[in-house]
Amino acid sequence: MTAHSGRSRTSNYLKEPKTHIPSSTMSDTAAYSIATHVAVPQKAPYGVDVEEGKTYYWCTCGLSKNQPFCDGSHQTYNAEHKTTLKPMAFTAKKTEKAYLCGCKQTKNPPFCDGSHTKL
């Protein structure tokens, strides 16, 4: 896999032609840090339908039972381990199927960037 050049590219893992991997438009990137991951829920992206203008909360800790979205599981972990994990909010720019990271190692949160292929 080549370095991300800012252009659309096809993900070999998804085996769908011309799959667009959007750039992150997150305003709350401080919520996401690879070093703070607790769990890797799956080594593949989650294909989810998102609606334009709707805000979603992507799980950053990996503990949610509602992957790839937050269900509040980080709150118990935070209390027990004195951490400050929280979800990352993002607003869909258009109605489409989005491929959200399942391994929590992406460098383009919340979107899959293929990092799971290196795990």
pLDDT at 38: 77
pLDDT value, residue 34: 56
pLDDT of residue 36: 62
Encode the chain (119 residues) as per-residue pLDDT tens digits: 444 444 444 333 344 334 444 444 444 544 555 556 678 999 999 999 999 999 999 999 999 999 999 999 999 999 999 989 999 999 999 999 999 999 999 999 999 999 999 98
Give the torsion through C-alpha atoms of 7, 22, 38, 71, to 10 deg.
180
Domains of the chain, by residue range, sit at: 29-118
Residues in a beta bridge with 94: none
Amino acid (1-letter code) at residue 118: K
* pLDDT value for 58: 96
Instruction: Report the pLDDT value the prediction gives residue 19, as an integer from 0 to 100.
Output: 42
